[in-house]
A and B are shown apart, each in its own frame.
Chain A
Amino acid sequence: MLRRLLALIVLGGGAFAGALAFRRRSGGHAVVDVHFDDGSLVSFGPRSAEAQRLLPFARDILAAVDRS
């Protein structure tokens, strides 16, 4: 009984860690905020087409800083 419970906990933990890693890899927490000169702000979530267009530039900037 205890063994089964332990196996379940390990399995659940593994699945959670995997989901977390996938979320991070796919930019789950990524967000882009664009402020315009008229005072408006538009926020784009990670799955939006706009963020997909803008995030690669930010990713390149982070990579350049890491390599420096």
Chain B
Amino acid sequence: MDAAKPLADLLELSPQIEAAAVFRGEEILGAAGVGDEAARRLVDDAVRLLDSAGKLRSDGSRVAQVRAALSGRSVFVVQQPEGERAAVAVAAGGATPGLVFFDLKRTLAAVAEERATPRGRRAAKEDTGSAA
């Protein structure tokens, strides 16, 4: 999974982030800080959150990022401009939104880079091969 390392780095460098996942459509590319079942729920709800937020405007504007703060914590969702990948994270209440958004975008860029390397391309090919 080429998102594993960037996600591990994210949680290590940003202690305020409790859990995070990277996804494309409804496919989970990686998760950290949660088990498989919770990662599935994280991604499903993040997809629904982005969909619902996108319906708030009818002028064709795309949602770039969402922050929902409640119960002393925050949920962050970021979408890449081309809409290929997205990331969701849960952070403690004291987290600075700008920093969390920045870290999530950096993680998405790192995932894209990992995929662009020969090793990442090989892993992606293997993924596709095993899925077929």
A27: nearest chain-B partner, CB-CB: B70
A34: nearest chain-B partner, CB-CB: B53
Number of contacts between A and B (CB, 8 Å)?
102
A59 within 8 A of B: yes
- Contact between chains at A65 and B34 (CB < 8 Å): yes
- Pick the contact of A62: B56, B61, B70 (CB < 8 A): B70
8 A Cβ contacts from A33-60 to B: 33-38, 40, 42, 50, 53-55, 57-60
Shortest A56–chain B CB gap in Å is: 9
- Contact between chains at A68 and B69 (CB < 8 Å): no
- Contact between chains at B41 and A60 (CB < 8 Å): yes
8 A Cβ contacts from A9-43 to B: 24, 27, 29-38, 40, 42
Give the interface residue-count category, chain B. Answer: 35 or more
- Which residues of B approach A to under 8 Å, CB–CB? 18-19, 33-35, 37-38, 41-42, 45-46, 48-49, 52-53, 56-57, 61-73, 75, 81, 88, 90, 97
Q: With A59-B71, A60-B45, A67-B38 given, name 16 new contacts (CB 8 A).
A: A24-B71, A27-B71, A32-B53, A33-B66, A34-B56, A34-B65, A36-B64, A37-B61, A54-B53, A57-B75, A62-B71, A64-B34, A64-B38, A65-B42, A65-B90, A68-B34
